[in-house]
């Protein structure tokens, strides 16, 4: 069985957690695979625990999708390091890592919408 794991950075902010879960809920409506979400650090659930659950539920092919804007140190080293440790634990588990959000024309639309939307005076 194939699954998708969306990995966010993690935050202590309740609002960040809620937004992440709203994104996951919307993403689930767009794909047929089982979608789970977790965080690299700062809050649960973490990557190893979430993959353990996915594996126990029969998932043997996981596409890890970073909910990160750029391919920084977390995407180049930290997340792959965690995934390699998990792969060593489960020999029959296929794990692939997708690219982070990066550049997409939609980003400019989001920035425009935010600039024209509700603003906070400083």
122 domain-assigned: no
Query: How far is 116 from 91, CA to CA, in rounded Å?
Result: 50
- For residue 109, the 8-state DSSP code is H
> With the C-alpha atoms ordered 88, 93, 98, 100, is the resulting torsion angle positive or negative?
negative
121 domain-assigned: no
pTM of the model: 0.92
From the list 8, 9, 35, 75, the catalytic residue is 9
Contact 96, 60 (CB under 8 A): no
- The pLDDT tens digits of the residues spanning 32-71 come to 999 999 999 999 999 999 999 999 999 999 999 999 999 9
Q: Which domain holds residue 85?
A: 2-116
- The pLDDT tens digits of the residues spanning 53-64 come to 999 999 999 999
21 domain-assigned: yes
Partners of residue 61 on adjacent β-strands:
2, 94
Residue 74 designated active-site? no
If one counts the domains in the chain, the total is 1
CATH of the domain at 80: 3.40.50.1400
């Amino acid at each position: 069985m194939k699954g998708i794991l969306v990995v966010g950075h993690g935050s202590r902010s309740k609002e960040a957690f809620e937004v992440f879960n709203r994104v996951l809920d919307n993403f689930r409506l767009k794909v047929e695979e089982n979608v789970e979400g977790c965080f690299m650090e700062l809050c649960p659930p973490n990557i190893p625990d979430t993959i353990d659950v996915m594996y126990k539920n029969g998932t043997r092919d996981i596409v890890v999708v970073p909910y990160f804007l750029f391919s920084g140190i977390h995407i180049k080293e930290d997340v792959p390091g965690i995934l390699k440790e998990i792969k060593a634990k489960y020999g029959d588990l296929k794990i692939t890592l997708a690219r982070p959000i990066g550049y997409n024309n939609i980003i400019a639309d989001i920035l425009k919408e935010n600039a024209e939307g509700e603003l906070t005076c400083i």
